[in-house]
Structure 1
Amino acid sequence: MARKGKESGRPPVITGDTVHIVLRHPRGRRSVEQIQPGLIIPAGKRKGRNPSVASIYRAPAEHAKREVCPEAVEQAHIDFAVLQVGQVPGARLAVPGRVPL
Structure 2
Amino acid sequence: MKRLGRGAVEPTALADHLTAHGLVLEMLAGPLPGIYDPTGPGKLLFAFFAAMAETERENIRESTLEGLDTAARKGKHGGRPPVITDDMLHTVLRRRANGESVERIQPDLIIPTGKRKGHNPSVASVYRALAEHAKREAYPEAVERAHADFAARQVGEVPGPRPAVPDRASL
TM-score by length of 2: 0.48
Change (3 A) 1:28 1:79: closer
Q: Distance in 1 between matches of 2:117 and 2:156?
A: 37
Equivalent residue for 1:55? 125
1:38-53 correspondence runs (5 A): 38-53=108-123
Deviation at 1:33, TM superposition (A): 2.9
Q: Which moved more, 1:2-11 or 1:30-39?
A: 2-11
Larger Rg: 2
2:14 is equivalent to residue 14 of structure 1: no
User: Which amino acid is 1:87 matched to?
Assistant: E
2:142 is equivalent to residue 75 of structure 1: no
Equivalent residues, number: 99
Q: Distance in 1 between matches of 2:97 and 2:129?
A: 13
Which of the pair has the greater relative contact order for Cα pairs under 8 Å at 6+ separation? 1
Structure 2, unpaired ranges of 5+: 1-70
Q: Distance in 1 between matches of 2:96 and 2:102?
A: 9
Per-residue CA deviation, residues 2-54 of structure 1 (Å, 9 max, x unaligned), is 45554432111112211122122339943333212210112221122110111
Change (3 A) 1:67 1:49: same
Higher helix content, 1 or 2 = 2
Equivalent residue for 1:65? 135
TM-score by length of 1: 0.74
Q: Distance in 2 between matches of 1:83 and 1:60?
A: 29
- Alignment check: 8 A CA contact 2:96 2:102 kept: no
Change (3 A) 1:49 1:89: same
- Alignment check: 8 A CA contact 2:102 2:123 kept: yes
Percent identity for Structure 1 against Structure 2? 70
Q: Distance in 1 between matches of 2:102 and 2:164?
A: 40
Change (3 A) 1:10 1:91: same
Q: Which moved more, 1:12-21 or 1:74-83?
A: 74-83
Partner-residue secondary structure (3-state), 1:91:
coil
Structure 1, unpaired ranges of 5+: none
- Alignment check: 8 A CA contact 1:11 1:43 kept: no
RMSD: 2.6
